[in-house]
Amino acid sequence: SVSWSPVKTITSYVAINHGFTIPSLTETMTPLGLINNDIKPEKAWSYEAGMRFDLFKSRSFIDMALYYMKVSDLIVPKRVEEDFYIGMNAGASLHKGIEVSLQQWLWGKDENSEPSSSSAVINLGYSINSFRFLDFVEGDNDFSGNQLPGIPGNFFTGSIDFITAFGF
C-alpha cells in the first residue's frame, strides 16, 4: 500500500493485497464424517483506493473507498441432506463497491483535539456493493453472472456513542 498526504488533513491511498482463506473444519466434513480432500482454499486479489479527511480540528472524519476483489475457488455451502451442509468451491467471484463513513463529534472534544470526560460521537457508514459469480457451474445449473446470495446491494450502519463523566 502507498499513502500520500498533500496537506495534514487529507490522506489518499492505494492498496493491493493477495490472500487466502482455508476451509473450516465443518466445510471439509462429509455427511459420513470424512474429510473432503477436494475442497481448496479461497484465493483473492484485492485492489482499493480511497481518501480520508480529518476536518474541523479533528471533530469530523470522513473516509471514502473504492474496492475491487477477485476471488477464485470461492467456498459456498452445499446442502447434501435435510440439515447438513458441506463446503464446495464455486469457481470465481467478483466483489466491487464503494464505502463512505463519517465520524462526527457532537460534543466533548476540546480545542486541542483531546476528548473530555463527557462526549458524544455519531458514526455513519454506507456502502454500495456488487458481488457476483464470475464462473460457477454446478451440474446443469449455470450461476455465472448471478449476485452472491445474502449480500445486500446497499448497506447502512449508524451509531451514537456516549461517554459520561461517571464512566457509563
First to last CA, the chain: 38
Its pTM stands at: 0.80
Q: Give pLDDT tens digits for 114-154.
A: 666 788 999 999 999 999 999 898 889 899 999 998 899 99
Nearest to 121 by CA among 99, 138, 103: 103
Nearest to 125 by CA among 163, 161, 159, 162: 159
Residue 111, pLDDT score: 63
CA distances 31 to 36, 48, 90, Å, are 10, 40, 19
Q: What is the pLDDT along the chain (168 residues), one digit of tens a residue?
A: 999 999 999 999 999 999 999 998 888 887 788 888 889 999 999 999 999 999 988 889 999 999 999 999 999 888 877 777 888 898 899 999 999 999 999 988 766 656 667 889 999 999 999 999 998 988 898 999 999 988 999 999 999 999 887 877
